[in-house]
Amino acid sequence: MKNKLKKYFALTRLGIIETFQWRLALFVMILGNLLYLTLIYFLWKAIFSSAGNDVVNGMTFEMTMVYLVLATSLYGVVELYIVWEIGRNIQNGKIVLDLLRPIKYKHYVFWENSGVLVVNFLVTFIPTFVIVVIMTKGTIPLGWNLLYFILAFVFSIVINYNIDFIVGTICLYTESIWGINIMKQMIVALLSGATIPLAFFPEKFVAVVKYLPFKAIYDTPLTLLMTRNPGWQTVISKLGFSLFWMIAISAFSGFFWRISIKQVTVNGG
């Protein structure tokens, strides 16, 4: 067990070192996020002022902004562009080398990218969170909710990775990536509450979306983070929902990969 973890953490470690090699890329990413946040600030300011109400769909402007700022920085952590990576490796044939590791491919790709995740969490999410807490003075409670958030966040990472892995597996059949990946990004961004809080969607739409796994990626962890004293039932039902989808989708992605890899006709050579 200990050795097994060592295998995986060795990949994380190297990922961290490699990410720090590209210092400039790190700064550019932070700058890009700031620009995006400025954009959504003015967008939602316009939405709220045209609504003429302080509260729209049960959310104040401040709450909406806090939600979106945190969602954006969370997006920077969770989105690992796995589909691109798998697709590229299939196209240029490098997948052969990764398949020949003494680690399952699904695990190998995850841990290979986990270093980026750690760096982004420390460099973008934590500072953003601290700034938001200080600026909003008490809008975000600091108590048990942090623990719930961490749990939901771990589930979120696994669910998002497995969705990516399933879409990446589809690339084995299509051998093309671009269209599939764009579609996946749009669907996830919309249905997970990453770009628009789910409260703003029409009721009938939400009635369907609330049963899908996507909301466990951004909506669930952020709701748990921002709710003061949510009550046991809420916490358990929300975390239970995420946990259920995490197990279900991991099982499915593993199964789908096993039947698909038979299709592989490795390119090149």
Q: What residue ranges bind another protein (CB under 8 A)?
A: 3, 6-7, 9-11, 14, 17-18, 21-22, 93-94, 96-97, 99-104, 262, 264-266, 269
Closest separation between CB of residue 176 and another protein, Å? 13
Rounded CA separation 226/57 (Å):
16
Closer CB to another protein, 135 or 266, in the complex: 266
Least separation in angstroms between residue 159's CB and another protein is 24
Q: Indicate the residue among 107 and 184 with the shorter CB distance to another protein.
A: 107
Closer to another protein by Cβ: residue 202 or 269: 269
Residue 120, number of CB atoms within 10 A of its CB = 23
Nearer to another protein, 168 or 213 (CB): 168
Q: C-beta of 77: minimal distance to another protein in Å?
A: 21
Question: Token pair of 148, please?
Answer: 């719930």
CB closer to another protein out of 251 and 261 = 261
List the structure tokens of 194.
């990453």
Question: Taking a C-beta distance cutoff of 8 angstroms, is the pair 125, 76 a contact?
Answer: yes
Distance CA 269, CA 255 (A): 28
Least Å from the CB of residue 14 to another protein: 5
H helices within the chain, ranges in order? 2-21, 23-51, 61-78, 82-92, 95-99, 105-120, 126-136, 144-174, 178-191, 203-209, 219-226, 232-261
Written as six digits, the tokens of 113 are 């990218």
As measured in angstroms, the least distance from the Cβ of 260 to another protein is 13
